[in-house]
Amino acid sequence: MAAELTILSGGLSTELEAAGFLIQGDPLWSARLLHTNPQAVKTVHTNFLHSGANVLSTATYQASIEGFKQHLGLNFEEAANLFTVAVCQAKESSDAFIRQHAETRKMLIAGSIGPYGAFLHDGSEYTGSYVKDMSIEELKDWHRTQMQCLAAAGVDLFAFETIPSLKEAEALVQLLREFPNNKAWLSYSCQVRSQQTEQCMLYTGLKGYPTLCFYFIILEFSKHKCSP
């Protein structure tokens, strides 16, 4: 029996920039377009489907209720609705593609959740430096609202993306227990340290929490730069 191949969609922001939108330097990244031009996001989703993807990630990596309130001047309800818009753009793209092409592939919508540092917009999403000043409960409190919005909008699973610290990963995995109907994958952004890399692999490989079927570890690794 042949193994089933799962193909993820690519970088939304890369494709949006290629289409002429200014993404770099924006504290909301591609999530701003959920408010200003949701059709552009939908178009990129459709392009990914034509390229063979059967998992679409929502344009919410750098989205948060607080971020939408601060940078768009929205109230809580309006900010929460943008998560629904994000899921709807992906679902509508998927549904239309299935109708037009008599597609038999199973399509999934992954609710993208970036690290807390993505909200800070100070580069700390690459280092995880903020976790030293936050408890696991504080990290859970931050991510819970975004996850609630995505779950309510009907995502099939969560995509915890480029998490830079074990502490934040632990908070997310604990929080996932509050969403028994949703699975997740978790990807790391790791420092150039072989010991940490080993810890990351042990964490993802041995904990036994509900997951999609694979994990990614994003590495920048050089033997010449590792500590002895």
pLDDT at 10 over 80: yes
For position 218, what pLDDT does the model report? 38
Average pLDDT, the chain: 84
The encoded tokens of residue 197 equal 């890399």
Q: In which element (H, E) is residue 161 found?
A: strand 157-163
The encoded tokens of residue 103 equal 């597609």
Give the type of residue at 1. M
For position 85, what pLDDT does the model report? 98
- For domain 12-223, the CATH superfamily is Homocysteine-binding-like domain (3.20.20.330)
Q: Rounded to an integer, what distance in angstroms lies between the CA atom of residue 80 and that of residue 84?
A: 7
pLDDT at 226 over 90: no
CB 164 within 8 Å of CB 117: yes
Q: In which element (H, E) is residue 46 found?
A: helix 38-50
pLDDT at 209 over 50: no
- Which of 193, 198, 185 minimizes the C-alpha distance to 159? 185
For position 187, what pLDDT does the model report? 87
Q: Rounded to an integer, what distance in angstroms lies between the CA atom of residue 154 and that of residue 171?
A: 22
CB 39 within 8 Å of CB 14: no
The more confident residue out of 102 and 18 is 18
Position 127 confidence tier, pLDDT thresholds 50, 70, 90: confident
Mean pLDDT of 61-85: 97
> Within 13 A of 72's CA, how many CA atoms are on the CB side?
25
- Per-residue pLDDT reduced to its tens digit, 150-166: 999 999 999 999 998 88
- Per-residue pLDDT reduced to its tens digit, 35-67: 999 999 999 999 999 999 999 999 999 999 999
Position 3 confidence tier, pLDDT thresholds 50, 70, 90: low
For position 5, what pLDDT does the model report? 80
Give the type of residue at 15. E
Domain map (residue ranges) of the chain: 12-223
For position 108, what pLDDT does the model report? 95
Q: Rounded to an integer, what distance in angstroms lies between the CA atom of residue 66 and that of residue 63?
A: 9
Q: Rounded to an integer, what distance in angstroms lies between the CA atom of residue 189 and that of residue 192?
A: 10
Is the alpha carbon torsion for 26, 27, 31, 32 positive or negative?
negative
CB 30 within 8 Å of CB 10: no
pLDDT at 76 over 90: yes
CA–CA distance from 29 to each of 14, 16, 19, 57, 187 (Å)? Answer: 11, 10, 15, 14, 19
Query: What is residue 93's three-state secondary structure?
Result: helix
The more confident residue out of 8 and 205 is 8
